[in-house]
C-alpha cells in the first residue's frame, strides 16, 4: 500500500470544523514573532498571581496539546483516537517536582496509569521521565563520576538514594510487565543521561526477555548516539534480551549548546540539522535491519523519516503493523502523519500528556516554542488545516 501525508481528509476526520478553526487560530498566533517569546515568559508568572487565566489556557493551547487534567479526563480523547485506529502513549506530564515524597507519589501515579492503560484497548505504552523519580542533582553526580559509574559508590546516602530510585523503577516495570504495557523512558539532558541509560538497560535485561516492555530513548541530535545504539544492541545480544528503543532527534538543543559553551567542553550536539537527519535515518535503517532483536518506535514529525521507515518496511517484506515497529507523534501535531499511517495499517500513536494545568505549563511552553517558527512542519501544519477547511466548505 502507498501512503500520502497530503491526505487532509484522513488527517482531520476526527475534528469538527469548529475545532479545526481553533487549531488554525492557535498555530497562526504561535507564528507571530513576538507572541511566543513574551507568552512563554509571562504565562508561568500569571499562573502564580492567581489571575483567572486557567479557563483561557484550558480552552486553547491546553485543549490542543493535552488530554485532560486527570487520568480519567483523557478517556474522551483516547476513545476518539481509537475510532480511527490511532493508539495512545499516556504521559503523566508533571515535571520538576523534587523530594522523596513527590517521587513516591509519582511512582504510585505511574502504576495507576499502567493499570488504567490495561483496561483500554488502544493504550499500549506509558512514558516516564527518570527526573520524576530521582533528584536531578543525584543523576548529575552519577553521570559525572566514573567511579560511581562503575557501580562503586563512595557515599552511603547517595547509594541508598540511588537504590530507592532503582526500586521505584523496578516496581513500575514489574506492574507493566504483568499488565503487558510498554514503559518508555524519556531522554533528557546529556549531563544526566548516563545513569538513566544504565537503569534502563538494567530493567530491559530483567523485563525484555520474551517481549519488549522497557524502551530507552536515543537522541540522534547527539553525535555519539549512533555508536551508543550499536553498543546497546551488542549488549542486548550478549545478555539475550530484546532491545526496546524510541528514536527521537532531541528536544534540548539550545540548552545543550549553551551549557557546552559556558563550561568549555565540546558540544555533544551534531554540527548541523543535516547531520542529525542522517544519523536519525541511519538509526531507523539499523533497527529495521535487526528487527527480530530490536523493537523500535519512530517518534518524529519529520515526514521524510516516517516515509523512509514505511518504505523500508515494505522493501523488507514486513507487514505495516509489525509488532516491533511503532510510529508516534505528539498529540496536537502532525495529524497528517499519524492518521495516514493508521489508515495504511501501521501501529501508530499519539503521545498524550495529562495533568493539572499549572503542572503541564513547562510542556505547553515547549510546544509553543517548537511551533513558533512558521518554517518546516509548523508552516505545513497550518497550510494543511487551511486546505482541509476549504475542502469541507467546498464539499
For ligand FAD, the binding residues (CB under 6 A) are: 186-187, 217, 219, 221, 248-253, 269-270, 272-273, 276, 299-302, 328-330, 351, 376-377
- Residue 371: CB minimum distance to ligand FAD, A: 11
What's the full length of the chain, in residues?
Answer: 395
Find the shortest distance in angstroms from Cβ 45 to ligand FAD.
25
Q: Is 304 helix (H, G, I), strand (E, B) or coil?
A: helix
Work out how close the CB of 375 gets to ligand FAD at its nearest, in angstroms, rounded to a whole number. Answer: 10
Give me the DSSP letters along 218-259.
EETTBTTHHHHHHHHHHHHHHHT-PEEEEEE--S-HHHHHHH
Alpha-carbon distances of 299 from 117, 251, 280, 334, rounded to whole Å: 20, 12, 11, 11
Render 197-229 in DSSP notation, one character per residue.
HHHHHHHHHHH-SSS--EEEEEETTBTTHHHHH
d(CA 321, CA 326): 8
Minimum separation from the CB atom of position 243 to ligand FAD (A): 16
d(CA 292, CA 226): 19
Q: Considering the complex, what minimum distance in angstroms separates the CB of residue 333 from ligand FAD? A: 8
Residue closer to ligand FAD, measured from CB, 55 or 362: 362
Q: Which is nearer to ligand FAD, 148 or 169 (CB)?
A: 169
CB nearer to ligand FAD: pick between 195 and 250: 250
CA–CA dist 9, 387 (Å, integer) = 10
Which one, 127 or 141, has the nearer CB to ligand FAD?
A: 127
Residue with Cβ nearer ligand FAD (82 or 389): 82
| Cell numbers given for 376 | 518546516
**Minimum distance between the CB of residue 347 and ligand FAD, rounded to whole angstroms?**
13
Neighbours of 109 (CB within 10 A): 15
DSSP 8-state symbol, 189: -
Q: How far apart are CB 367 and ligand FAD at their closest, in Å?
A: 10
Angle at 287 between CA 285 and CA 293, to 5 degrees: 150
Q: Quick one: 148 or 312, whose CB is closer to ligand FAD?
A: 312
> Is the CB of 90 or the CB of 148 nearer to ligand FAD?
90
Q: Which of 119, 145, 212, 117 is CA-nearest to residue 109? A: 117
Instruction: Decide: 320 and 346 in contact? Cβ < 8 Å.
Output: yes
Contact 71, 112 (CB under 8 A): yes
Nearer to ligand FAD, 168 or 367 (CB): 367
Instruction: Closer to ligand FAD by CB, 105 or 308: give it.
Output: 308
> Least Å distance between CB 253 and ligand FAD?
5
Q: Rounded to whole angstroms, how far apart are CA atoms 352 and 32? A: 26
Least separation, in Å, of the C-beta of 180 and ligand FAD? 20
Amino acid at each position: 500500500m502507498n501512503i500520502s501525508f497530503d491526505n487532509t481528509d484522513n488527517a482531520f476526520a476526527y475534528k469538527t470544523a469548529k475545532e479545526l478553526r481553533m487549531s488554525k487560530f492557535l498555530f497562526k498566533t504561535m507564528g507571530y514573532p513576538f507572541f511566543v517569546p513574551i507568552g512563554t515568559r509571562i504565562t508561568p508568572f500569571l499562573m502564580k498571581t492567581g489571575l483567572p487565566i486557567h479557563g483561557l489556557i484550558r480552552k486553547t493551547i491546553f485543549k490542543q496539546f493535552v488530554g485532560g487534567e486527570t487520568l480519567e479526563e483523557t478517556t474522551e480523547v483516547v476513545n476518539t483516537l481509537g475510532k480511527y485506529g490511532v493508539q495512545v502513549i499516556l504521559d503523566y506530564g508533571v515535571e520538576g517536582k523534587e523530594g522523596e515524597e513527590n517521587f513516591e507519589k509519582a511512582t504510585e501515579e505511574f502504576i495507576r496509569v499502567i493499570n488504567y492503560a490495561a483496561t483500554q484497548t488502544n493504550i499500549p505504552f506509558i512514558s516516564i521521565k527518570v527526573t520524576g523519580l530521582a533528584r536531578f542533582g543525584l543523576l548529575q553526580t552519577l553521570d559525572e563520576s566514573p567511579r560511581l559509574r562503575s557501580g562503586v559508590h563512595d557515599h552511603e546516602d547517595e547509594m541508598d538514594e540511588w537504590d530507592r530510585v532503582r526500586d521505584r523503577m523496578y516496581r513500575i516495570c514489574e506492574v507493566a510487565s504483568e499488565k503487558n504495557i510498554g514503559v518508555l523512558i524519556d531522554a533528557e539532558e546529556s549531563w544526566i543521561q548516563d545513569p538513566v541509560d544504565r537503569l534502563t538497560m538494567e530493567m530491559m535485561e530483567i523485563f525484555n526477555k520474551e517481549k519488549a516492555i522497557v524502551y530507552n530513548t536515543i537522541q540522534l541530535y547527539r553525535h555519539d548516539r549512533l555508536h551508543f545504539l550499536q553498543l546497546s544492541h551488542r549488549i542486548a545480544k550478549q545478555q539475550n534480551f530484546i532491545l526496546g528503543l524510541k528514536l527521537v532527534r532531541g528536544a534540548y538543543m539550545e540548552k545543550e549548546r549553551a551549557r557546552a559553551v559556558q563550561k568549555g567542553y565540546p558540544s555533544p550536539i551534531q554540527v548541523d540539522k543535516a547531520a542529525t537527519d542522517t544519523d536519525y535515518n541511519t538509526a531507523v535503517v539499523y533497527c529495521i535491519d535487526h528487527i527480530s532483536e530490536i523493537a523500535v518506535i519512530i517518534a518524529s514529525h519529520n515526514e521524510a523519516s516516517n516515509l523512509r521507515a514505511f518504505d523500508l518496511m515494505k522493501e523488507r517484506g514486513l507487514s505495516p503493523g509489525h509488532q516491533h515497529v511503532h510510529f508516534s507523534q505528539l498529540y496536537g501535531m502532525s495529524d497528517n502523519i499519524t492518521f495516514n499511517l493508521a489508515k495504511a495499517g501501521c501501529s501508530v500513536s499519539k503521545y498524550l500528556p495529562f495533568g493539572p494545568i499549572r503542572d503541564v505549563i513547562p510542556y505547553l511552553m515547549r510546544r509553543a516554542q517548537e511551533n513558533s517558527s512558521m518554517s518546516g512542519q509548523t508552516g505545513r501544519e497550518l497550510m494543511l488545516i487551511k486546505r482541509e477547511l476549504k475542502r469541507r466548505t467546498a464539499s
